[in-house]
Structure 1
Amino acid sequence: MATEFNYKGKCYNRDLSWLLFNRRVIELANETTTPFLDRFQFLAIAANNLDEFYSVRVPSLQSQMELTKDGIEKKSGLHYSKILKQLHKRNEKNFQIQYSHFTGLSKQLPQEGLGKLTTYKQLDEHQREKADQVFDQRILPFLSFTSYESNYNLDYLKNKRMALAVRMKTKGKHLIRIIPVPLEIRRTIRLKFEEGIIYLRVEDLIRNNLHNLFDDGKVEDILTFRIIRDLDASLDVDKDDNNQDTVKNLRHYLADRERGRITMFAIEDLPDVQAKFIDEFRKKFKIDEQAVYRVPGPLDLTFLFALLKSWKKTKPQLVYPGFQARKWPTNRSMLQYLQDHDLLLQYPDDSFDQFLTFLREAIDNPNTVAIKQTIYRVADNSKVIELLKEAAQKGIEVTVMIELRARFDEANNLKVTGELEDAGCNIIFGKKYMKVHSKTCLVLTKDGVNPEGYVQIGTGNYNESTAKGFVDLSLFSSRKDYVSDLASFFNYLEQPGANPPKYKVLAASPHRIEDMVIQNIQKVKEYYLKTGQGHVFLKVNSLTDVDVIAAIYDAASVGVPFRIIVRGACCLKLGVCGPKENIVVSSVVGQFLEHSRIYAFYDEETALWISSADLMTRNMDNRVELAAPVLDSDMRRGLEHIIDVYAQDDVDGFFMNVEGKYFKYESPKGHSAQQTFLHELANQHETDGQFQRAWSRMLNWWHKHK
């Protein structure tokens, strides 16, 4: 059971902590170890992160403030209004850092032979003539505007939309015209001159050609702005509804969601932008003052993604070097290997193709009677989906649990649902009030009371695109306890009113993963008090659950050492457990997105777990998640090696201090976990012409079965 704990004011606010994570992403643009073009990449990633934050997290805080009449958030002890004010202040600081890096990097583009990012006002007469021709031919035909004299409303502008607001005097009266930046045109116009290539932003070109659009009055003020809307509307998927009703409800939900209230109103802070017009515009269109940001540079730096795609092709030496991920040997059977051994893979060092190999062999295996899998996010044109469709068409019973509420992947999951249903797959939508966030696949060769087959349990999605850039773990096995537990797990998902089953080895949310973590922490504490030995290692994306934090504080107060790696939001505070506290918290942010979750408890037995769940209340109490113990001795050694490498990371690791700020060591020893794994990959010996995993038992098995 959870430890009783008065946590008020003894934890950080989740959202304020998350903004510090986004600052860490921004700071990678200033790291000398980051390749030049990847520095731009991190600036664009931070911009994309912030869009989601203001679409989801900020609206949630605003709702809490309204519902509680500006009550106190218990973790931090702060009023919600103060949290929102601090968020605004912290995000303004992030913008300053982000755009300072952007400006500095942009100045280096010509030196790298990549052209020049410039503005219309910096063009000479000849260049302006060519730019104006582009405007007339390629932009003007797509422009439209709406005039306002009263009834001010921006409902027709969807989330992430950019536009220009023009204050005009025409026929003796003032009005405001809104010109949306056309979606049909790329954000940057590429212009080639003898002196080189220049890139001009579309909104800048429109701004300086308004005379070609308006000839009925005088332009007095112009704002270039972009809006982020509240997308936090909830969707209930009722398991008792038929699939057609559920799909219909989701389509309506997606259409309505784009009309949420404005949570961020970002304005490009140009010299001629008048504060008076900003205030007038904000009041007329009923935009909250705290939603307004004057951004010191081009809005929405995600426009860099398209440029980087072309730049990386011409300048591959300016990006992280490529690598050859491990693949399963084409002349060896994965299922045959799994009959006697477990397998633990770490993406992206191991190729996601190995999961596809697993599925392919399952489909071709004449003993396969059923395949059951959870789907949360998949790639466009997913190979996983194609294989599941093929399995159903071959007569294998295929059941797919699709989470339609996977935020911002709803439309793709709707498409996938239709494809799988048409192929003859059985589709289920999970639990009404809980997202199914587990990542697992069950292949049955014998169903019934004593099922047999193969399992895969992972920390990441079945997405072959993101698997190239996300660090995740994937466990494969034919152990009967795993198979039996997953058979019970899928039966639970398929039955609307079923109670959660009791598992032999697995742990599942709601509640049981939290119980497992807390009980293991308490077990380590008891062992430490008896022997002075024992410690805990945790690696997650977020640590916000107060019951888990309370258990950590309780154990740390007697001296139990904790090594905790939290990529994103961390509500745990340092310095609150007394003189024996020994907690090290870091955030590893590097070439790849850290996404794996590892729970390791070192006492007389040592328990090693991987999980789909972060240590967040939503994952512990309000989602269906899975955690699996790693039982095979060789796989345990492999996982402990991974843990040791991460525990030593002092290059990609940003370390938390007692003030809640993050710092990097001035003189690191040079341990980068991500680069260590890539180095190990590059220096592996080849066996029979194939990259092989260096673990002895696997190599011995392969040799025996030549």
Structure 2
Amino acid sequence: MGIKSKYKGELYNRDLSWLLFNKRVIELANNYHVPYLNKLNFLSIASSNLDEFYSVRVPSLQSQEALTNNGRDPKTMLKYSELLKKIHESNDNNFKLQSKYFNQLITQLSDYGIGKFVKYVDLCDRMKQKANQKFDEKILPFLTSTTFNSEYNLDFLKNKWMAIATLVKTKADTSIRIMPIPPYIRRTVSLKANGKKQYLMMEDLIINNLENLYDDGEIEDVIIFRLSRDLDASIDLEKNNGSKKTIQNLRHYLANREKGKVTMLEIQNLPDTNEKFINYFIKKFKIKPNDAFKIDAPLDLTFMFPLIKSWSKKHPELSYPDFSGTKWHGNKSMQDYLKSHNLLLQYPYDSFDQFLQFLKEAVDNPKTIAIKQTIYRVADNSKVIELLKEASKKGIKVTVVVELRARFDETNNLKVTDELEDAGCEIIFGKKYMKVHSKTCLVIMNDKSSVKGYVQIGTGNYNEQTAKGFVDLSLYSSSDEYVNCLISFFDYLSHNGDCSRSPKYNSIVSSPNRIEDMVIQNINRVKEYYQKYGKGKVFLKVNSLTDVDVIAAIYDAATVGVPFRLVVRGSCCLKLGICGDKENIVVSSVVGQFLEHSRIYAFYTDQPSLWISSADLMTRNMVNRVELAAKILDKYNINKIQKIIDIYSEDDVDGFFLDKEGNYFKFENSKNHSAQQTFIQESIKLSKQLESQRSLYKWITEKISKLKNHLVSGKNETL
């Protein structure tokens, strides 16, 4: 019996598990540990998450349903039609919960002195006049309407655009008129009443001005709706790799991507909307019932992001306190420090500025002859890109592996590619048939000393903005064990051949395949050790755990009693309660102030093996991407990452725990252990200590300077 078939059906579906994750994000809006404005922010994040889910994951399942003639999902053995129905039910419940919390929080706005949301119908005549004036000036010029009589089609509506459908009866006929609402129109209209700010939803204002727009007939019904489309169309960049044709292919793909089929229809429940018109609308535009949702709140809560940002500036007490990570504190340069030490940082508790310093020192060092780096997602106006451009202009050979297929970052990566090429950098477009998702930078020196290079290997992107909110690990070293591996790794990336397996290295492992092999081999090693000595355990921290072979290895080891502590933020296909009486698996999902993004693999025997990685334990990462995992070699950083593991293992504040029924719960009697708050407090404490040391150093330096001046001048002054 193969390892995959042995546990057939003993897994949760990845997408249903992901919807439970999005529910956990929504639940933070009802968590007393979370500040008021951050509660609203988490609801907005849940909306943003869902957009990608219905533009990527759901279309994939719909395609599987069609291609397999409604075959079965291999993890759950459910037919795809049943699975899509369950996804609809789960997401419908999420929408209800999200709407409930949103409406509760919005009613509290005035209590916090921020303002309040109002409805057009409740405004006095004077305020209605003010609102109508704003409609005429700021909204009406951007609106157009399309009338449908016999040919009903929604192809002209772009992905994620809201629209208003109006059933208008004239003397000639009854027709549906659709008015798209461009996303650049602000969703809220600000009004002032008695010196206090109020917010009116833009769509509420529009539907109360429809009678003036459609004065040729009688308005019978109105629907506010929004479409999500399939953005997962395939893209062929493999041919002509590295040529201008590659970029042309991508530009063509981006131009056509927004025209995919409809995967979700959101309809806002309005008090006066006739249910018959909603059903008629859905049927007329051939929307499947499983793709339609009726929502008791404004659509697309991402409109709250700019409001929350503005309110947070005026009411900082209603948000998480401002936090800046610890900056590099060595008296020497980072390069000098790395000549004799490895350095392990954890963002955002350590500042991303430290990577910028690492890169800048390389750019400014005349001994630097080459810089090689992978790029997946970078910030707008990225300082990292500016430094790479500067390096190239100084004559340093700069090679950048740009992954053009980073979903939804393609346009920015095209811009980055143009900038880097104009600066003289060599651009590589990743490996054939697979994305390069690795996060690494290699600096090569022309130095007579023993140091020939420096490396950085991380779990997260080179993005100054997301590094403030994503938890990631970053390893820096000048060790030949890492440097030689990275030289070979970039040599592997520079060859365009279709390599089904990555090369073997000493202190790093790269997918395709070899990270999966390493994880399974280490789990089996712990299992054998546990069977022999009754000791050993495994800790894994990832964003997703969906790979069947890895889960099967966990099941096999858990059957004999090996303890597993798993921290899985998002989708987790592993089930509890199927490994027998000896099963000892604890699974939690840490969802808090920051987005948990770091990946840690730890295997404990008499010879512990601890790794950080860019790869989640998903088949796509194990087989279809180029990822990196780096082994922590030095004792100091082994102890440091062990402390991080211990803190995550104890988290019972931000952690949601998986039960045997597949639900996630919070401990009622929490010991108040929050990993994120622990790291924040430690960072604040360290920053204060370093500031004190800097102040002392400055004071001593000034005193020494005065003493030197005193000795030179010969004056008898009190120091």
**TM bucket, shorter chain:** over 0.9
Task: Report the secondary structure of 1:373's partner residue.
Answer: strand
- Which residue of structure 2 lines up, in the alignment, with residue 645 of structure 1? 647
- The letter for the 1-side match of 2:214 is F
How far apart, CA to CA, are the structure 2 residues paired with 1:553 and 1:485? Answer: 33
Structure 1: state its 5+ residue gaps: 693-706
How far apart, CA to CA, are the structure 2 residues paired with 1:330 and 1:619? Answer: 36
1:183, CA displacement in angstroms? 3.0
Task: Report the secondary structure of 1:667's partner residue.
Answer: coil
- Which residue of structure 2 lines up, in the alignment, with residue 418 of structure 1? 418
Contact 2:329–2:690 (Cα < 8 Å) also in 1: no
- Which residue of structure 2 lines up, in the alignment, with residue 296 of structure 1? 296
- Which residue of structure 2 lines up, in the alignment, with residue 697 of structure 1? none
1:527, CA displacement in angstroms? 0.6
Contact 1:2–1:551 (Cα < 8 Å) also in 2: no
Q: 2:636 aligns with which of 634, 637, 642?
A: 634
Contact 2:439–2:628 (Cα < 8 Å) also in 1: yes
Q: Map of 1:376-525 to 2, 5 A cutoff?
A: 376-446=376-446, 452-497=452-497, 499=499, 500-525=502-527
- Which residue of structure 1 lines up, in the alignment, with residue 364 of structure 2? 364
- Tell me if 1:592 matches 2:618: no
Q: Deviations over 1:578-600 (max 9, x none)?
A: 00000000000000000000000
- The letter for the 1-side match of 2:383 is K
Contact 1:518–1:548 (Cα < 8 Å) also in 2: yes
- The letter for the 1-side match of 2:345 is L
1:239, CA displacement in angstroms? 6.0
Contact 2:324–2:348 (Cα < 8 Å) also in 1: no
Structure 2: state its 5+ residue gaps: 695-719
1:153, CA displacement in angstroms? 1.3
Contact 1:266–1:293 (Cα < 8 Å) also in 2: yes
Contact 1:492–1:498 (Cα < 8 Å) also in 2: no
- Higher mean C-alpha deviation, range 587-596 or range 681-690: 681-690
Q: Deviations over 1:448-503 (max 9, x none)?
A: xx993010000000000000000000000011121111111111111111643221
- Which residue of structure 1 lines up, in the alignment, with residue 705 of structure 2? none
1:397, CA displacement in angstroms? 0.3
Q: Deviations over 1:310-365 (max 9, x none)?
A: 10111011000112311113852001111111000000000000000000000111
1:685, CA displacement in angstroms? 6.9
1:207, CA displacement in angstroms? 0.6
Task: Report the secondary structure of 1:404's partner residue.
Answer: coil
- Higher mean C-alpha deviation, range 125-134 or range 213-222: 125-134
How far apart, CA to CA, are the structure 2 residues paired with 1:70 and 1:278? Answer: 28
How far apart, CA to CA, are the structure 2 residues paired with 1:251 and 1:475? Answer: 35
The alpha-carbon distance between structure 1 residues 687 and 305, as it changes in their structure 2 partners (threshold 3 A), is closer
Q: Deviations over 1:606-631 (max 9, x none)?
A: 00000000000000000000000011
How far apart, CA to CA, are the structure 2 residues paired with 1:472 and 1:269? Answer: 40
Q: 1:606 aligns with which of 586, 605, 608?
A: 608
RMSD of Structure 2 on Structure 1 (CA): 1.6
- Which residue of structure 2 lines up, in the alignment, with residue 190 of structure 1? 190
The alpha-carbon distance between structure 1 residues 5 and 535, as it changes in their structure 2 partners (threshold 3 A), is farther
- Which residue of structure 1 lines up, in the alignment, with residue 672 of structure 2? 670
- Which residue of structure 2 lines up, in the alignment, with residue 703 of structure 1? none
Contact 1:35–1:318 (Cα < 8 Å) also in 2: yes
1:242, CA displacement in angstroms? 4.1
1:243, CA displacement in angstroms? 2.9
1:234, CA displacement in angstroms? 1.7
1:212, CA displacement in angstroms? 1.8
Q: Map of 1:89-238 to 2, 5 A cutoff?
A: 89-194=89-194, 196-238=196-238
1:395, CA displacement in angstroms? 0.3
Contact 2:312–2:318 (Cα < 8 Å) also in 1: yes
- Which residue of structure 1 lines up, in the alignment, with residue 622 of structure 2? 620
- Which residue of structure 2 lines up, in the alignment, with residue 16 of structure 1? 16
- The letter for the 1-side match of 2:8 is K
- Which residue of structure 1 lines up, in the alignment, with residue 709 of structure 2? none
Contact 1:2–1:515 (Cα < 8 Å) also in 2: no
Identity of aligned residues (%): 63
Task: Report the secondary structure of 1:683's partner residue.
Answer: helix
Contact 1:568–1:587 (Cα < 8 Å) also in 2: yes
Q: Deviations over 1:112-165 (max 9, x none)?
A: 011011221222222212111111222112211111112111111111000000
- Higher mean C-alpha deviation, range 115-124 or range 231-240: 231-240
Contact 1:444–1:451 (Cα < 8 Å) also in 2: no
1:686, CA displacement in angstroms? 4.8
Task: Report the secondary structure of 2:299's partner residue.
Answer: coil
Alignment coverage as a number of residue pairs: 690
- Which residue of structure 1 lines up, in the alignment, with residue 699 of structure 2? none
Contact 2:563–2:584 (Cα < 8 Å) also in 1: yes
Contact 1:508–1:624 (Cα < 8 Å) also in 2: yes
Contact 2:538–2:564 (Cα < 8 Å) also in 1: yes
Contact 2:374–2:438 (Cα < 8 Å) also in 1: yes
How far apart, CA to CA, are the structure 2 residues paired with 1:295 and 1:211? Answer: 25
TM-score (norm 1): 0.96
How far apart, CA to CA, are the structure 2 residues paired with 1:179 and 1:498? Answer: 49
- Higher mean C-alpha deviation, range 179-188 or range 245-254: 179-188
- Tell me if 1:7 matches 2:7: yes
- The letter for the 2-side match of 1:616 is M
- Which residue of structure 1 lines up, in the alignment, with residue 574 of structure 2? 572
How far apart, CA to CA, are the structure 2 residues paired with 1:690 and 1:496? Answer: 52
How far apart, CA to CA, are the structure 2 residues paired with 1:612 and 1:109? Answer: 41
Larger of the two Rg values belongs to structure: 2
The alpha-carbon distance between structure 1 residues 549 and 201, as it changes in their structure 2 partners (threshold 3 A), is same
- Higher mean C-alpha deviation, range 590-599 or range 133-142: 133-142
How far apart, CA to CA, are the structure 2 residues paired with 1:120 and 1:675? Answer: 42
How far apart, CA to CA, are the structure 2 residues paired with 1:410 and 1:330? Answer: 38
TM-score (norm 2): 0.94
Contact 1:106–1:117 (Cα < 8 Å) also in 2: yes
How far apart, CA to CA, are the structure 1 residues paired with 2:209 and 2:260? Answer: 32
Task: Report the secondary structure of 1:369's partner residue.
Answer: strand
Contact 2:242–2:429 (Cα < 8 Å) also in 1: no
